[in-house]
Amino acid sequence: MGIFGFGKKKKKPARSCDLEGSLLEFGEGYLLTSAQIIQSKRFWDNKMIEPETLAYSKAHFQKNDDMGTKMRTMIFQKYSSQDKPWLVGDGQVSQFEVDKDQAREYARQWWESEFQFRPPNAGSASDNMDSTEFEEFKEYAIMRAGETQLLKMG
């Protein structure tokens, strides 16, 4: 090791917010499960009108286009089926009705365990939710999310 390596502390890892990519330093953020993610209508309303998804939503609502609906279904599946927990930053956590103190504690444990910690009910949402409730959120995300916002956009 060269002379300049002495006294250097090992750099703690950083990770990106799983929802929008902002950088989170060691110990920051909130850890949510896929079930917690998909149970937010506010999340879905925002997700389905983002620039990357807006065309699918317009096709779904304005043209009754099957491809738009299929793409919205794939987006739902991406968020509902993830096995690992979601690391979410301060800018995103307000979309979810969760115990923020608990979610922050889970994130701390996740960081400390070098990303091995899994909060209760981690895994795919369909495995960790009542099937009726899961289907209600699935139907909302695919068939209705973003409709009101699209109407306001014109």
Measured between alpha carbons, how far is 49 from 54 in angstroms, rounded to an integer?
Answer: 5
Residues 55-108 pLDDT 10s: 999 999 999 999 999 999 999 999 999 999 999 999 999 999 999 999 999 999
**1 band by pLDDT with thresholds 50, 70 and 90:** very low
- Rounded to whole angstroms, how far apart are CA atoms 80 and 94? 19
Q: Are the CB atoms for 125 and 34 separated by under 8 Å?
A: yes
The whole-angstrom separation of Cα 146 and Cα 47 is 8
Q: What pTM value is reported for the model?
A: 0.90
Residue 4 confidence (pLDDT) above 90: no
Structure tokens at 1: 């090791």
Cα–Cα distance, 101 to 141 (Å, whole number): 27
Parse the chain into domains and list their residue ranges.
15-153
